[in-house]
Structure 1
């Protein structure tokens, strides 16, 4: 895997072996950014189930100012740290080594872009989007990008957010919510 485009374009990304994470393929990552960007003029990105960190690193590569990556798996944290080092700009990244609930208690400020690719998609996505919104962590122009298996049907609306775009790529479904 590699960074698809932007400042770090072409640089390799390390991923975890095994079934603990499902890294977003280069093709799907490129398609996601074509849906939502493809480039940004600053802003904050949150990747709540970071895995390898590829989505958040791609977002910074394409112009986001800073990223917060959250993962509770120690092996994933090690891979994320290596991938952040590859950027040569570690100051743009903050890795929180904890679960989603713990992270939400520590986070502050609004995010412009949020990636959610949790292991148990539907229930966790609805709960997390609701909590992020209630805690004021979503900017008025936020895009919440959810990656699920193609068979998962997310609600049309979650709180004040509604589906803006939705596409299926192979076995993955990408759903983008906006205010």
Structure 2
């Protein structure tokens, strides 16, 4: 696993030990960042269900100013801290061990708003419609901000949710589905 593009291009990332996380493939990362970027001029990113942190780190490498990483697994949190330390990204990141619902409510209380929110939960373990609605309700996504959802290809995600436009829906490798929304 590695960083695909930007200032950290080619740098290796550690994976979370065990089989509770599934890293996003390089092909999927490249395809999705070509749509939403491919590079950024600052901005804030929220990486929920962060796993190793590879998506949030990719966003930082491509120019995001700050990324908040959230995962509830201790092994994932440890791996995120290792990857951040190895890449000298401590000043551009925050890491929290908690579940997604608590994390988005805490971010709202802090008045945070994000340009990019990355949702890559364990397949079939999250209600994307509920998450998308809660993100809008809590005012966490900036106008024209993107929300990336990685899911099982057979999982049905909202096609026309209120306050969002579905920018892309694609399948990769026969099992991975990707849906990209933009706040309207």
Q: What TM-score do you get using the length of structure 2 for normalisation?
A: 0.92
8 A Cα contact 1:118 1:125, kept in partner: no
Partner of 1:156: 159
Partner of 2:82: 82
Indicate the larger mover: 22-31 or 139-148.
22-31
**2: CA distance between counterparts of 1:105 and 1:33?**
27
Residue 100 in 1 paired to residue 100 in 2?
A: yes
Post-superposition shift, 1:156?
1.0
For the residue of structure 1 that corresponds to 2:33, the secondary structure is helix
Residue 45 in 1 paired to residue 45 in 2?
A: yes
For the residue of structure 2 that corresponds to 1:6, the secondary structure is coil
Q: Deviations over 1:20-66 (max 9, x none)?
A: 11110122111211122111111111111100000000001000110
Which consecutive aligned stretches of 4+ in structure 1 deviate over 3 angstroms post-superposition?
120-123
**2: CA distance between counterparts of 1:68 and 1:159?**
25
Could you tell me which of 147, 150, 156 is aligned with 1:147? 150
**2: CA distance between counterparts of 1:61 and 1:100?**
24
Q: What TM-score do you get using the length of structure 1 for normalisation?
A: 0.95
**2: CA distance between counterparts of 1:75 and 1:89?**
19
Could you tell me which of 165, 171, 178 is aligned with 1:174? 178
Partner of 1:56: 56
For the residue of structure 1 that corresponds to 2:42, the secondary structure is coil
Post-superposition shift, 1:84?
0.7
Q: Aligned residue pairs: how many?
A: 179
Post-superposition shift, 1:96?
1.0
8 A Cα contact 1:122 1:154, kept in partner: no
For the residue of structure 2 that corresponds to 1:45, the secondary structure is strand
**2: CA distance between counterparts of 1:16 and 1:122?**
18
Post-superposition shift, 1:169?
1.2
Residue 115 in 1 paired to residue 140 in 2?
A: no
